[in-house]
Amino acid sequence: MYIRELKVDGYGALHGLNLELDAAVNVIYGPNEAGKSTLLRFVRSMLYGFPNRKDMVERGEPMSGGRHGGRIVISDEAGESWLLERYAERGGEITLRDGVGAVRVLGQAEWERWMLGGISERLFRQLFSVSLNELHELRTLQGEEIGNYLYNAGLAGGSSLSAARRQVGSEMDRLFRPKGTTQEMNRLLISMKEIETEIRSSRDAVRQYGEAREGLEQVELELSSLESGFPELRLQAAKLQSAYDLREWWLKREALLEADAGLRRSLPDPSAQLLAEGTAQIWSEMKSKRDEAKTKLSVEQSALQDLRSRRELLDWDERRVIALPEAERLEALREVVTAKREERSELEAERRTLDETVQATLSRISAEWGEAELQAFGGLAAEREQVRKLQQAWEETERGTMSYHAELRKLERQKEVLRSEESYSISGNLNEGDQAGSVTSREALSADDYFVPRTKPALLQAWHRAEDARRNYDRARTSVRPSRTTANSRGTSDDKARGSALLFLIAGLLGAAAIAIFFFLSGSNGVETSMAYGVFGGLLLLSALVVFLAFSSSSSSSRSGSRTRSRATSSAEEGQSNPSADYNVNLQLYRKQFNESLRQLMNDPQSAATSLIQENSDYAPLDIQEHSEMEDTVWQKLREAVHERLEQLEEVERGESKRQELRNRMHELQVEKDLVERDSEELGRQADALHASWRNWLEVRKLPLHLAPDNLPELLGMAEQGQAALRQRQRVTERSDTLSHAIKEFEQAASRLMETCPPPVGLGSEIGRAVQWIYGDSVKHLARKEEAGHLERELAGADAAVRSAGAELETAAYRIERLLQEAGGATEAELEHRLRIDQRSAEIRLEAREIQLRLESGRDSESRDQLYALLQQHDEASLFTLLSDRKAVLAQEEERRSGLLDRRGRLTQELERLRVESELEDKRQRLLELQSKLELLSERYAILAISDKLIARTKAVYEEERQPEVLRRASRYFKQMTNGAYCRIIAPGDTKALLAETEDRRVLDSIFLSRGTQEQLYLSMRFALCAAASPDHPLPLLLDDLFVHFDESRLIQSLPILQDLAKERQVILFTCHRHVARTIAEGIPTARAVTLGE
């Protein structure tokens, strides 16, 4: 691309500037502030757009007017040129006009690709639009893009390569940095190290556990041995303690025992045992008992004396006492006898009254009766029963006679009724039926003429037979009909026969229907039997008519229809071949049978038929149709006649049976009447017998004969009354006798008593009072006797009491004696002294025993002995010393034990802690998790690193292959510029440095070169890179005063290089040094010099 013309509208200090740059090498000279650098920036802005306002210098807002922007004319190698137009106000939009005026509006990217060969703005600035600043950038090769671009063709300017490496690199940096601390992997590594340290420090857990357990076992062992020693120690201490505590008591006991011994010594026999406990009490009891016994004895003796004197005062008469029971009995009877006497006199009066009553009754009954008769008037109940029965029989007889009479009258009436009914029934039959064949209806009579059978079954049988015969006949005829019709189809007889056959069939059917209907109706509905009969008869007659018609028309109306028959036969003969003969014979046979059966049915079939169908007979000769109809009619009529006849027959039978019944009833009535009469006579005889027996009964009892049985109850009542009076009188008499006897007995006994116990004078005459007195006296004597007995018994008791009191006294004395003997035969005083001593002794001993119990309780014999030994051997002070020593030992041991227990607790806790901690221990897991994470990240890192490494390697390959060309070219330029002072530029792959090789093969790092030489080296590199960077679209090279540090000779040396470059691309040089401009213009003849600011 060549820049042909610059047209600045407004940019920085410039405006309205037009500059033609049509040469290969253009030198633009201008003093300072002429606008050279501004022009350079203007070109960059035209090609790459206006920067935003952050970079106001580069943006170049017009300072002295003009529209911000401008135009440049460019052309390609082929010479085609475009006018490019770019204004800031249009947002950097590029307007391109070609030679013929066509306008294109382009975007920046499109523009760069199309005309700038994909060189980025940055690369353009570094390689093509270079000022001194940019020149030095190359020294550090910071513009890696350039390198990338160099080594990597076809990668869109190499930006993606560096972007990829940047991306990879940044991710790697995030993951890990050699000395970093915040990167993920670095952090992981640090954490892992920490955990590892922890693990190392916690490795001793097992050992600790083991030690703790061993320690625990040791402690347990010690504890158990300690525990086993404890009881003995404690026991000893306790013994000492108790000995110490009990010492007081022991001393007391010793004193008591001493006192006791003293007491005993005061006794005559100091060694004597204590008397049994309670002896003192017994002794005093005994003494009091003896005193009591003495007192009691004297009391009893005085009581006995008193009783004896009382007994001697009592006296009584023994006889009186013996007589007392008799006197008592009589005294009891005395009142009774007085009462009996009064009763006897009352009874006498009553007897007399009863006598009168009897006499009165006798006179009322019969003059002839005395008391004997009355007595003899037997058992009244039996008599009464006899009379009652008689009376009853009498009444029954009378009632029987009356009922017989009534029955006879009733029978007579019934007979009368029957007779009238009989006569009525006879007169009814005269209208409805016949009686014994004497009376008949007209129709029945006429029917009688037709039919032979006189009874219903016979008639039915005959009729059925006739029907069967007709059917047979009919069938016989029809059975051959087909052959005949085939043989010859004409012949009236045949037709007729057929017709008649049809008639027969119809008649049969009708008959059958009639019968069926009959049975149906009669079976289903008895009420309509008469109607059924009617229908039945009608149908039967009809069938009979039909039969008849068939009969007459078809064949054997022999007597009347010979003509027809002959014609039929002839026609049959005519038309029939041999087989028909047989048929004829058959037909004949059936016909005969039919006739026969008809004859059996009727007296005169022919005439009967005629009479039956007299109105229709003239149809006989009519044509077949009519004929057959007539046959049907005849047979039907016949059937009706038969059925009518059957009906009549039934009617007659019914009437007869009714009459028979009436006659039977009449006869029964007669028989009954005879029987009643006979019974009535029998009853009359019984009544007579009864009368006789009644009279006889009266006679026997000497009763008036006029008495009727009706009077008898009255008579009987009086008799009964009489008899009752009699019996009463008898009882009164007997009672009176009894009383007299009892009184007599009493008087005798009283006199006997008075003999043995004479009452006081004056009373002897009055038996009652005497008895009373004797009784009172006897009672008194008895009382005295009893009192004496009582006193005697008391005397005996008192005597016994005296004796026992004496014995008691003796016993008491004896026991006192015994006691004294036991106590050593001493006197009572001595005993009492001893008792006192003993009591005191016992008290002392009891106290001593209590103390001993206190000392010895809960101790076995051994420890008891030990205790006593201790008490005896040690005084209080030494005991106390012993005790406190032992206590100190015990306390020491206790302390040791609590220490051990404490230790055991701690060790157990330690073990538990270790166990729990071990359960919670997860450092290794955490470590491994970190490790896993680290591995994951390492893997990612490895992938990234490999990726980076591969890119780097490939890039290195590219450097190997492509770099020499650039360097060769750069070396050539450098050698040219330095006039051979340096012959080569070296760019090692592993560093960013650029080396320069001198003529004499010395290699210098470019940073050590002089500034001018440095700039020459960089320029050489730049020129070489330009060629490599835009081989397809050679971009113009804009150099802003790069030669200021060149000496003249090196500047001149550089000119051929510029010339050389200008062959490929446009070169535009800016300078503010006139000599530079002149030198170049002189050195390059084709160069165009432009002066700015003039």
Partner 1 sequence: MGVPFTFVHAADLHLDSPFKGLTKVPAAVRERLRESTFVALGKLSEVVEKEKADFVVLAGDLFDVADRSLRAQLRLQRALGTMTAHGARVFIVHGNHDPESGRQARLDWPEGVFAFGSATVGCIPAYSRKGDLVAHVYGISYPTPSVTDNLALRFKKREGAPFHLALLHANVDGDPSHDNYAPCKLEELITSGFDYWALGHVHDRRVLSEYPHVVYAGNMQGRSIRETGGKGAYVVSVNEAGSIEMKFKDLADVLWREIPVSIEGMESEQQLKNRLLSALEAVRGEAGGRPSVVRIKLEGRGMLHERLLQPNVAEEWIEELREWLGEPEETDAWIWPESIAVRTGGIVRLESVAEEEGFVGELIRGGLAATEHSDASRELLDEAMETLRKQPKIREWLESRSHEERSQWIVQALELSVSLLREDRDGADNRS
Per CB under 8 A, contacts with partner 1 among 209-228 are 209-210
Q: Can you tell me which residue has the tokens 């060149």?
A: 1046
Give the one residue of 95, 391, 931, 998 binding partner 1; rule: CB under 8 A.
931
* Nearer to partner 1 among residue 86 and residue 496 (C-beta): 86
φ and ψ at 760, to 5 degrees? Answer: -60, 150
Contacts 24+ apart (CB under 8 A), 143-147: 145/120, 146/1025, 146/1029
The stretch among 397-405, 495-503, 621-629, 940-948 that binds partner 1 (CB under 8 A) is: 940-948
Least distance to partner 1, CB of residue 182, Å: 16
Give the one residue of 483, 884, 925, 979 binding partner 1; rule: CB under 8 A.
925
Give the one residue of 79, 101, 154, 858 binding partner 1; rule: CB under 8 A.
154
102 φψ region: left (φ > 0), alpha (ψ -120 to 50), beta (else): beta
Q: Taking CB under 8 A as the rule, which mask of x and - marks residues 122-151 in contact with partner 1?
A: x-----------------------------
* Nearer to partner 1 among residue 11 and residue 594 (C-beta): 11
Q: Taking CB under 8 A as the rule, which mask of x and - marks residues 50-69 in contact with partner 1?
A: xxx-----------------
368 φψ region: left (φ > 0), alpha (ψ -120 to 50), beta (else): alpha
3-class SS shares of the chain: helix, strand, coil, % to 5: 75, 5, 20
- Interaction between residue 27 and partner 1 (CB under 8 A): no
Site for partner 1, residues 446 to 465, rule: CB under 8 A: none
The stretch among 15-23, 47-55, 816-824, 992-1000 that binds partner 1 (CB under 8 A) is: 47-55
Give the one residue of 30, 49, 62, 69 binding partner 1; rule: CB under 8 A.
49
Least distance to partner 1, CB of residue 160, Å: 4
Give the one residue of 126, 129, 152, 778 binding partner 1; rule: CB under 8 A.
152
Least distance to partner 1, CB of residue 888, Å: 42
Least distance to partner 1, CB of residue 178, Å: 5
Q: Taking CB under 8 A as the rule, which mask of x and - marks residues 192-211 in contact with partner 1?
A: x----------xxxxx-xx-
The stretch among 226-234, 261-269, 600-608, 924-932 that binds partner 1 (CB under 8 A) is: 924-932
* Nearer to partner 1 among residue 91 and residue 278 (C-beta): 91
- Interaction between residue 156 and partner 1 (CB under 8 A): yes
Q: 586 CB contacts (<8 Å, ≥6 apart)?
A: 476
* Nearer to partner 1 among residue 185 and residue 767 (C-beta): 185
Q: What token pair was written down for 114?
A: 């199309």
Least distance to partner 1, CB of residue 154, Å: 5
Give the one residue of 401, 478, 721, 938 binding partner 1; rule: CB under 8 A.
938
Give the one residue of 159, 606, 728, 839 binding partner 1; rule: CB under 8 A.
159
Least distance to partner 1, CB of residue 74, Å: 19
Helix ranges restricted to H, 11-104? 36-48, 56-59
* Nearer to partner 1 among residue 181 and residue 486 (C-beta): 181
φ and ψ at 1087, to 5 degrees? Answer: -70, 145
619 HSE (CA, 13 A, CB side): 20
Least distance to partner 1, CB of residue 912, Å: 12
Least distance to partner 1, CB of residue 44, Å: 10
The stretch among 216-224, 682-690, 708-716, 943-951 that binds partner 1 (CB under 8 A) is: 943-951
Site for partner 1, residues 882 to 921, rule: CB under 8 A: 914-915, 918-919, 921
Cα–Cα dist 657/234, whole Å: 147
Q: What token pair was written down for 650?
A: 């039934």
Residue (of 349, 347, 371) closest to 359 by Cα position: 371
Complete DSSP assignment for 122-152: HHHHHHTEE-HHHHHHHHHT--HHHHHHHH-
Which helix (DSSP H) or strand (DSSP E) does residue 444 occupy?
helix 442-450
* Nearer to partner 1 among residue 1 and residue 94 (C-beta): 94
Residue (of 58, 66, 91) closest to 9 by Cα position: 66
Neighbouring C-beta atoms of residue 756, cutoff 10 Å: 13
Least distance to partner 1, CB of residue 35, Å: 22
Least distance to partner 1, CB of residue 108, Å: 7
* Nearer to partner 1 among residue 924 and residue 968 (C-beta): 924
Amino acid residing at 732 = V
φ and ψ at 1059, to 5 degrees? Answer: -60, -45
> CA of 889: how far to CAs of 156, 380, 875, 886, in Å?
103, 140, 22, 5
Site for partner 1, residues 68 to 127, rule: CB under 8 A: 91-92, 108-109, 120-122
Neighbouring C-beta atoms of residue 796, cutoff 10 Å: 11
Q: Can you tell me which residue has the tokens 């650098």?
A: 37
* Nearer to partner 1 among residue 153 and residue 783 (C-beta): 153
Q: What token pair was written down for 238?
A: 């306790």
Least distance to partner 1, CB of residue 39, Å: 19
Cα–Cα dist 259/414, whole Å: 155
In sequence order, what are the beta bridge partners of 5? Answer: 20, 73
Least distance to partner 1, CB of residue 998, Å: 35
* Nearer to partner 1 among residue 401 and residue 938 (C-beta): 938
Residue (of 638, 452, 618) closest to 543 by Cα position: 638
Cα–Cα dist 715/364, whole Å: 9
Q: Taking CB under 8 A as the rule, which mask of x and - marks residues 532-571 in contact with partner 1?
A: ----------------------------------------
* Nearer to partner 1 among residue 318 and residue 919 (C-beta): 919
* Nearer to partner 1 among residue 42 and residue 50 (C-beta): 50
Neighbouring C-beta atoms of residue 29, cutoff 10 Å: 23
Give the one residue of 13, 106, 141, 189 binding partner 1; rule: CB under 8 A.
189
Cα–Cα dist 64/55, whole Å: 19
Give the one residue of 796, 936, 1007, 1044 binding partner 1; rule: CB under 8 A.
936
Cβ atoms of 72 and 6 within 8 Å: the answer is yes
Buried-exposed string 258-275: b where 16+ CB fall within 10 A, e elsewhere: ebbeebbeebeeeeeeeb
Site for partner 1, residues 161 to 180, rule: CB under 8 A: 161, 163-164, 167-168, 171, 176-178
Q: 537 CB contacts (<8 Å, ≥6 apart)?
A: 639, 640, 641, 642, 643, 644, 646, 647
φ and ψ at 850, to 5 degrees? Answer: -60, -45
Taking the alpha carbons at both ends of the chain, their separation in whole angstroms is 28
Least distance to partner 1, CB of residue 171, Å: 5
Q: What token pair was written down for 461?
A: 């049988």
Cα–Cα dist 192/198, whole Å: 10
Which helix (DSSP H) or strand (DSSP E) does residue 556 occupy?
none
Give the one residue of 57, 103, 105, 153 binding partner 1; rule: CB under 8 A.
153
Q: Please tell me the count of residues contacting partner 1 according to CB under 8 A.
A: 75
Cα–Cα dist 578/487, whole Å: 11
Least distance to partner 1, CB of residue 143, Å: 13
- Interaction between residue 928 and partner 1 (CB under 8 A): yes
Site for partner 1, residues 279 to 298, rule: CB under 8 A: none
* Nearer to partner 1 among residue 74 and residue 934 (C-beta): 934
Helix (H, G, I), strand (E, B) or coil at 263: helix
The stretch among 316-324, 685-693, 864-872, 934-942 that binds partner 1 (CB under 8 A) is: 934-942
Least distance to partner 1, CB of residue 23, Å: 29
Site for partner 1, residues 944 to 1003, rule: CB under 8 A: 944-951, 953-955, 957-958
CA 732, chain centre distance (Å): 103
